[in-house]
Amino acid sequence: MSGSIPFYQKHHRHYDRGYRSKGTESKMSQYQSTSRYTGVSSYSGLEASRLSPVPKRAKPTYLAVDKENQIIGYVVPIFRGFSDTEEARVRNTSAHMARRDLFTRGLEMERSEVISRKEAIRESAERISLTKTIHEHEEHFKHMNEDSLMHAPEFVIKPRSHTVWEKQCVRLHCTVSGWPEPRVVWYKNNVSIDPLANPGKYKLESRYGVHSLEINRCDFDDTAQYHVSAMNSKGELSAYASVVVKSRFHQDSKNGPVSEYGITFQTHIVDNFGVSFGREGETMSLGCTVIIYPALHRYQPDVQWYRDDVLLSPSKWHHMHWSGDRATLTLTHLNKEDEGLYTLRVSTKSGYETYSAYVFVRDADAELEGAPGAPLDVRCLDANKDYIIVTWKQPAVDGGSSILGYFVDRCEIGTTHWIQCNDTPVKFARFPVTGLVEGRSYSFRVRAVNKSGMSRPSRVSEPVAAMDPADRARMRGSTSAPWTGQIIVTEEEPAEGVVPGRPRELQVTEATKNYVVLSWNPPGEKGLEGVMYYVEKCVSGTDSWQRVNTEIPVRSPRFALFDLAEGKSYSFRVRCCNSAGVGEPSDPTEATTVGDKLDIPSAPGKVIPTRNTDTSVVVSWEASRDARELVGYYIEGSVVGSNVWEPCNNKPVNATRFICHGLMTGEKYVFRVRAVNAAGISQFSQESEAVEVKAAIGGGIPHASPSPPYGITVLECVHDSMVLAWKQPNFIGGADITGYFVDYREVIDGVPGKWHEANIKSISERAYRVSDLKENKKYQFQVRAANMAGVGIPSLPSDTFLCEEWTIAVPGPPHDLLLRDVRNDSLVLLWKPPVYQGRDPVSGYYIDIKEADAPEEAWRGVNNKATEKTYFKINNLNEGETYVFRVRAQNKAGVGKTSDITEPVPALTKPGTKEIVVNVDDDGVISLNFECCDLKPDSKFVWSKNYEEITDTSRLSVETKGNKSKAVFNTPAEEDIGIYSCLVTHTDGASSSYNLNEEELKKLLEISHEHKFPIIPLKSELAVEMLEKGKVRFWLQAEKMSANGKIDYVFNDNALSQGEKYKMNFDKNSGVIEMIMDSLTPADEGTFTFQLQDGKATNQSSLVLIGDVFKELQKESEFQRKEWFRKQGPHFIEYLGYEVTPECCVILKCKVGNIKKETTALWSKDGREIKSDQHLGFTEGVLKLEIAQISKKDSGVYEVVLKDDRGKDTSTLNLTDQGNFWRSCLNVFLMFSLLAANSSTPLKITSTDKGIRLYTFVSYYNDLLQVTWHYKDAAIAFSDRIKSGVVGDQLWLQITEPTEKDMGKYAIEFHDGKGGLRRTVELCGQGETVFSAAIAEKNRARVAGGLPDVVTIQEGKALCLTCNISGDPAPEVTWLKNDREITSDDHCILKFESGKFASFTITAVNTSDTGKYSILVKNKYGTESGDFTVSVFIPEEQTTDTKTCLKQVDWIDTMLRYRK
C-alpha cells in the first residue's frame, strides 16, 4: 500500500491478527510436531498442571484419597497412542474401502484420499482436544492454587439483619473468600468500629474465613446500619446488615410508659452545596450540614449519596465521610463520568430528607490545540476467554473539526504498559478486542483523534478478566479443595470422545464497516470435553467457503471478523471440533453487507428554552425520530450575536429536558441539540428562539409571594380615621410588589375582635388612611403585600392604637425613611413629609444620628439649620461604623415627633459599587450612565431628579440594556440643573447620585457643542509663498485628517477645479493641502478659500489678496519669473559688493553661479576696462577685485560682466558718492587703532649697548597706526640722540647716552579718533643704573659666531673650527667636551689669538672624538657659550652597517634638540 502513513500509525506497534494469543501459538507449535502422544512421567509442583485432565469430567475420578477418604493429591492419567490392534483395524478399513471400488482405479484413489483426510482431521481434532484439556486443567489448577491467580474478595455468606430486645446480645457473621486473604473491617453508620474504644461492648473474631461482630448488651444507640468491608490488593467489597434494638414497655411513676418508637425525628439539610462546576483532573467536595432533632447521643442516620438516582459506593473515585453532623462526598479525580445530578439522602426511622444539585465537569485543556475532548464511560461487555467488547460514549467537544475516529488501548492488570488495539481509528463507539490471554485481567481506555491530533485518554475502565462466563460463575459459586502440593500420576484409559454437533442460533450481532461480530450457542451434542470453533465465510453468490481462523480455533462462542471488503455481502457459518473430530457446520447466516448497520440518529426536533433562574434556562426539545440505541443528547448554547457555541453538558442526557446552568444574567441565548448513539453524533437541531437569562416568577423559589411587612405606625389620627405607615417586606418573592392590603380589628377590653378589610383594591404606597373608625375606640392593624405570584401572609398585628383626634401644634413624624448611596464616608437619607402638619405648615427638618449600639443619650443633630428638602446628604461618617437615623419636622410651633429610626446601616462601600458617569458622545449628546454588577432578573433602573422619580420624558430619555442604564438629556438647559440619582431595584441598595450644577452644565454644553460641530484643527492657516519660475503656492496644514477627507478650493465664492492654471494636491500623511498657480494676473485679485470636511468635522481658511498686497505679490511673481530665466545662464548669486580689510584694503567681490570654462568676467571702472597683471578667475564661485591702500582717486562706478554662449549678466557698484563706503574705510582705520591701543602692553624700559630703550608690544599693527611719544606731557622732538621706531609688533623709543636730564615721565599715545589711549612709565633715579647696564651689555663677553651646529667628518681627516670672540676686557676662553673641560695637546690644538679669534683643531679625528663640544667665554660683564657636535664615521661601516649609521643620526638629532 503506497501513500503517506497517518500520524496515528507512525509510532504504532503492529501485530499479526493471526496470533492474538502468543501462549496458544506456543502450545500449537509444540503439539503440531507429532501426531501421537506417548506415556508421561510423574511431575510435581506447577509443571504438572500442563497435563492435568479436565476437572468437569465425572468419569474417571482423578483425586487420590487415603483410607479416611481425605484428598491427598491428584491422579494424572497417561495418554497413550493407538495400539497395534487399532492400527491394524485402520489399515483393514482402508483396504476394505479399496476393495469395494475395484471398477475404476481413479475412484479408488479418490476414496483413499478421502480416508486419509479423515484420518488427518481426526488427528488434528485429537491434538486440539489435548490442548484444550491441558489449558482447562491449567485454569483449574490456578483456581485451586491461590498464588497463581489472585482475585478480589467475595462474600460466600453475607451478614444478616437482626431485630433484638434491649439488653440482649447480637452476633453478625459472614464468610469471605479472596486471595490474598482479605482484610475485614466492620462499620457502624459508615464509622469504623474500634473494640478498644468501647471495652466489653464489641467483640471481633476471624477464623478460617469466617468473621463475626458481637454486640454485647444492646441499647437504643446500637440501632444502626452495619456493614463489613473486605479488602485486598485486587479490590474491595462490602456487605450490609441492619440492627434494630427494641425497648420493652415498663412503667415509670413519673413519665409513664416510654417506647423507642415514641420519638419522631426531624431532619433538616442546611448549608448545602449548589450547582458546581469542575474540570477534568480536579478534586471536588460536596457537603451538607445535617441537623436531626431531637439530638440523641451517638445516633447516626443512614447517609447515602446518589448520582443520577444510582447509589454510589466508596471507591478510589468517590470518598464519603460522615462527621456526626456533616455529610461529605469527595470526587478525587473529576472525569466527565462524574457529571450528573447528585443527591444526598439522610434516612432515619421517622423518614428521610434529600437534597440534590447538579455537578458539571468540563474538559481539561487539550494537550494539542484543536484536539477533541476525551471519550467517556468506557465499559466492557460480553467478556469471554479471548474476546471482550469495549464500548464508550463520544465527547461533546470535537475541537473544531470532526472526529476521525477512536483508538482503544488495553493494559494488563499488574502492569503499566498500554497497548493500542486497533491500527486505524474506528468511528463506531464499540470495538471488539481479541487476542487476549485467558485468565488474565485487563483494563481499557479510549482516545479520540481529529485532524489536529489526539485527545487525552478517557478514564480507565473497570478491570475485567478474560475467561468463560460459566467458569467465572463456577469460580464464584464453589469452594476449592485444599491443595496438598502433591500430584499422583496413574495410568487410565481415556474415555472415547464424541464428535460435536452443529452450533446453534448463529447470527450477526453487530456489523460495521470495520468489523462484523458473530455469536452463537454451543452445540447440544459435544461430549464430555470442551469444544472449539472454526469460523468460515463465503462471498454472496458463490459456493466457496473459506476458513477465517485457519491456525487458532476459537474458544468463545463469539468472534469478530476484520479486514472484510466494505460494501460486499458475506455469509458465515461455524463448525465445532474436539479430540473426536470436526463436526458439521451450522446453518449459514443470511447475506450480510459489510457496513454500518446502526445509523447515526436524526437531528432532534424543535428546541424550546424557558426561563428558570438568573443563571439557568430550562431547555426542552423533541426527541430524534426513529433513533435506535440512543445514548443521549448534547446541548450547546451561544450568546446571541457572538457565534461562539459552548457545551452545556459533557455527559449525554437521556431525557428531552435539561437545565443549562452557568449562564450570564441579562444576556440572550440560543440553544441547539444533538443526538448520540454508538454510530456517531447527529446533526444539530434548528436553533431555538432567543431567551433572556432572567429568573422566572419567584426566581426559582417555590413560594413566590412576599414576606409580611413590618413596623406599622400611625402618622395621623382624626375622630373617625387613622393614617398608617409600614415598612417594605424583607423578601419580595422574586417579583415587584404590586400593592398592599390593610386589615383592622377593634380591641375591646384587651380582647381583639374579628379582622375587617380596610381596602378592597390594593394600594401602591406604604401609607394608607383607614376610614370609618369609631372615635375613642382602640384598633389593631395588619398589612399584607402582593405581587404577581399572589398575596403574602399578613404581618404581625400592630400595637393597639386609640382613635382620637390629634390637636397638638407641632407636626407629626416624617415617615418612609430610606437610605441611598451608602459609601465609606457618606450616605443620602430620604423621607416623606408628615401627614399631620400641626397648626402651621412644615418649615423644615432636622436629622439626628447615632451609632447603632450607642445609648439613647448619644443622639446628636446632623444639621444645625433646618433643611426644607426631604433629602439630605450626610458626610464625615467613620468607615465601617454602623449608624441609625431619625428625622424631625418643625413648624412655627416647634419641632414635632421623631420618625421611626432607620435600620442599622454600616458606612461601607459595597464591592463592585459604581458611580454615575457623565458622557458626551460624538454627536454631542449629554448622558448620565450607571452600571450595576449585582443585577437581578427583575431589577429595574429607576432615575430620579432631586430624588423624585422622573416620569416626564420630555427632558430626559432613559435607555437600559443589560446591566447598564443611560439617561439622555434631550435639550440640556438651566431647568435641568439638579441632583440626579439612579436606584436599581431588587438589589442590596445599589444606587448613585450626581449633582448637575450651573457650572458643570456650562462646561458640558461647551463640550457638546465641540462634539456636535467638530472642527478640523489646523497647524497653519492658509498662506502664500513664491516658488521658482514665479509660481504662486497657496497652502495650509491640518493636524489630522482621514483618507476620506474632502477639500473644496474657492475663489471669490466660485469653486476651483484641477486644470492648467490650478494644480491641487492633498498629502494625507502630513495633512498639507496646496494649490499652485503658474502666475498671477489682474483677474486673480480677490479672496482664496480652502474648505475642509472630514466626516462631521469641518473647517475653512481664507486669504485676501487685494490692493497693494496683491500688487506686491504679483510684482514678486514676475520678478521671480525673470530671475528664473536669468539663472538659466551665468548669473550673479550675490551682486557686486565691497569689503574693507583690517589692512585698509578694499575688496570688490560677487558670488556667481551656473558658470563653465568658457564663461568670462570683464571688470571696468567708469566704462574703462581694468587691466591687471594677474588673471581674474573664479574661486569657489566668488569673483574678487582687490584695491590696495584705498584713496579718493579710487572712487568711481565699478562694473563686472559675466558672459558666455548662454547669455550674460551684469552687476555694478557705485563708489563715487557713497559716503557709506568712505565711512566704512574710516571706521576700519579707527577700529584698527582702537584694537591696537587696547592690545598694547605696559610701557617697559631696557638697556642696550647704545643707551636706554622704552618699548611696548601691540597685537594689531599696520602702517596706518598713529602714535605719539611724550616726555613730561609734551611731544618729543626726535633727534639723532632720541629716535622712535617699530620692530615687528614692538614700538620703541631709543635714548642714546642718557643723562640726568633725561629722567622723568615718558608716555606713548595711541590715536583712535575718540580720546586716545596712553601708556606711561617713570624714568627716575634709574638713568645711571640703566646706563651702567647698557655699558655692561655693550662690553660683556660674546661668541660672535663661526661655529656650526653639527660637524660630520670621516675618520682620519683633520678638523679645524674658528669663531669670533668679543668683549671688553678680553674674555677668558674655555673649551668643553661632553660638559668636561679639555686642554690643548698634540691631538686637539686650542688657540685664542688677539683677544678676538678662538680656534679648535683636531689633527686626525677618530671615533672617540665624536661628542658634544662647547666654548665658554667670560669677562666681568657676563658669560656666553657656543655649542657644536662632532660626528666621526667610517666609510666601510656606513655601507655595511646601516643600523649603526641610523643610531648615530638619532644621537646627533638628540644632541641638536638638547642644544636648542
Confidence of residue 49 (pLDDT cuts 50, 70, 90): very low
| Alpha-carbon span 604 to 655, nearest angstrom | 12
Grid cell digits, residue 1138:
565691497
Distances (CA, A) of 1317 to 1241, 1266, 1269: 12, 11, 12
Mean pLDDT, rounded, for 1186-1213: 81
Give the DSSP H/E element, type plus range, for residue 1012. helix 998-1012
Fill in the DSSP letter of residue 9.
G
Mean pLDDT, rounded, for 173-191: 88
DSSP states of 276-341: EEEETT--EEEEEEEEEES--TT---EEEEEETTEE----SSEEEEE-SSEEEEEESS--GGG-EE
Q: Contact, 197 vs 157, CB < 8 A? A: no
What pLDDT is stored for residue 90 in this prediction?
47
Q: Could you check whether the bond before residue 1435 is cis, i.e. omega within 30 degrees of 0?
A: no
Confidence of residue 159 (pLDDT cuts 50, 70, 90): very high
Fill in the DSSP letter of residue 588.
P
pLDDT tens per residue across span 434-489? 888 888 889 999 999 999 999 999 999 999 888 877 666 666 554 443 333 333 33
Q: Contact, 367 vs 410, CB < 8 A? A: no
Residue bearing the bigger pLDDT, 48 or 528:
528
Grid cell digits, residue 737:
410588589
Grid cell digits, residue 1450:
638619532
Enter the pTM of the model.
Answer: 0.39
Fill in the DSSP letter of residue 946.
T
User: Which percentage of the chain shows pLDDT scores above 90?
Assistant: 26
Grid cell digits, residue 1302:
633725561
Grid cell digits, residue 421:
488495539
Strands (E), 579-667: 581-582, 592-593, 607-613, 616-621, 630-639, 645-647, 657-660
Grid cell digits, residue 750:
384587651
Compute the C-alpha angle 32/38/41, nearest 5°.
115
Confidence of residue 59 (pLDDT cuts 50, 70, 90): very low
Grid cell digits, residue 804:
382620637
Q: Contact, 929 vs 958, CB < 8 A? A: no
Fill in the DSSP letter of residue 129.
H
| Alpha-carbon span 182 to 1207, nearest angstrom | 125
Phi, psi of 1009 (to 5 degrees): -65, -40
Q: Which of 466, 586, 597, 468 is nearest to 535 (CA)?
A: 586
What pLDDT is stored for residue 1439 in this prediction?
46
Indicate the angle between helix axes 105-144 and 22-31, nearest 10 degrees: 130
- Contacts (Cβ under 8 Å, ≥6 apart) of 1454: none
| Alpha-carbon span 756 to 742, nearest angstrom | 9
Whether the pLDDT of residue 1119 is over 80: the answer is yes
Whether the pLDDT of residue 3 is over 50: the answer is no
The count of C-alpha atoms lying within 13 angstroms of the C-alpha of 791, restricted to the half-sphere facing its C-beta, is 12
Q: Contact, 497 vs 579, CB < 8 A? A: yes
What pLDDT is stored for residue 25 in this prediction?
46
Confidence of residue 1231 (pLDDT cuts 50, 70, 90): low
Whether the pLDDT of residue 78 is over 50: the answer is no
pLDDT tens per residue across span 976-1022? 999 999 999 888 888 999 999 999 999 999 888 888 888 888 889 99
Whether the pLDDT of residue 522 is over 70: the answer is yes
Whether the pLDDT of residue 529 is over 80: the answer is no
Whether the pLDDT of residue 702 is over 70: the answer is no
Mean pLDDT, rounded, for 362-376: 90
Task: Reduce the DSSP state of residue 194 to 3 states and report it.
Answer: coil
- Contacts (Cβ under 8 Å, ≥6 apart) of 1108: none
**C-alpha of 1122 from chain center:** 69
pLDDT tens per residue across span 1335-1371? 677 778 888 777 888 888 888 888 888 888 888 788 8
Whether the pLDDT of residue 242 is over 60: the answer is yes
Q: Which of 1344, 1350, 1345 is nearest to 1366 (CA)?
A: 1344
Distances (CA, A) of 201 to 167, 214, 224: 11, 8, 15
Average per-residue pLDDT in the chain? 80
Residue bearing the bigger pLDDT, 156 or 67:
156
Mean pLDDT, rounded, for 273-280: 90
Which residue carries 638628540 as its cell? 1454
364: how many CB neighbours lie within 10 A of its CB? 17
pLDDT tens per residue across span 385-405? 778 889 999 999 988 888 999
DSSP states of 1283-1328: EEEEETTEEEEEEES--GGG-EEEEEEE--SSS-EEEEEEE-S-HH
Mean pLDDT, rounded, for 290-296: 81
pLDDT tens per residue across span 886-944? 999 999 999 999 999 999 999 999 888 889 999 998 888 999 999 998 887 678 899 99
**C-alpha of 951 from chain center:** 46
- Which residue type does 1269 have? W
First to last CA, the chain: 103
Q: H helices within 560-703, ranges in order?
A: none
Lowest mean pLDDT among 207-211, 333-337, 897-901, 1112-1116: 207-211
Whether the pLDDT of residue 375 is over 90: the answer is yes
Whether the pLDDT of residue 258 is over 70: the answer is no
| Alpha-carbon span 907 to 703, nearest angstrom | 33
Whether the pLDDT of residue 7 is over 50: the answer is no
Strand 1267-1271 to 1274-1275 pairing? antiparallel
Long-range CB contact pairs, 410-413, < 8 A, 24+ = 410/436, 410/442, 410/443, 410/444, 411/442, 411/443, 411/444, 411/445, 411/460, 412/440, 412/441, 412/442, 413/440, 413/441, 413/442, 413/443, 413/463
Lowest mean pLDDT among 18-22, 72-76, 1034-1038, 1305-1309: 18-22
Give the DSSP H/E element, type plus range, for residue 1179. strand 1178-1179
| Alpha-carbon span 152 to 463, nearest angstrom | 11
Question: What is the SS3 assignment for 31-78?
Answer: HCCCCCCCCCCCCCHHHHHHHCCCCCCCCCCCEEECCCCCEEEEEECC
Strands (E), 189-234: 191-192, 202-207, 210-215, 224-232
Lowest mean pLDDT among 177-191, 206-220, 872-886, 1275-1289: 1275-1289
Whether the pLDDT of residue 674 is over 90: the answer is yes
Phi, psi of 385 (to 5 degrees): -65, -40
Residue bearing the bigger pLDDT, 741 or 583:
741
271: how many CB neighbours lie within 10 A of its CB? 11
Q: Which of 470, 605, 569, 583 is nearest to 526 (CA)?
A: 583
What pLDDT is stored for residue 535 in this prediction?
87
Mean pLDDT, rounded, for 1329-1334: 64
Q: Which of 137, 231, 241, 227 is nearest to 178 (CA)?
A: 231
Residue bearing the bigger pLDDT, 541 or 758:
758
Confidence of residue 866 (pLDDT cuts 50, 70, 90): very high
| Alpha-carbon span 1079 to 1077, nearest angstrom | 6
pLDDT tens per residue across span 1389-1409? 888 887 778 888 988 888 888
Mean pLDDT, rounded, for 566-595: 85
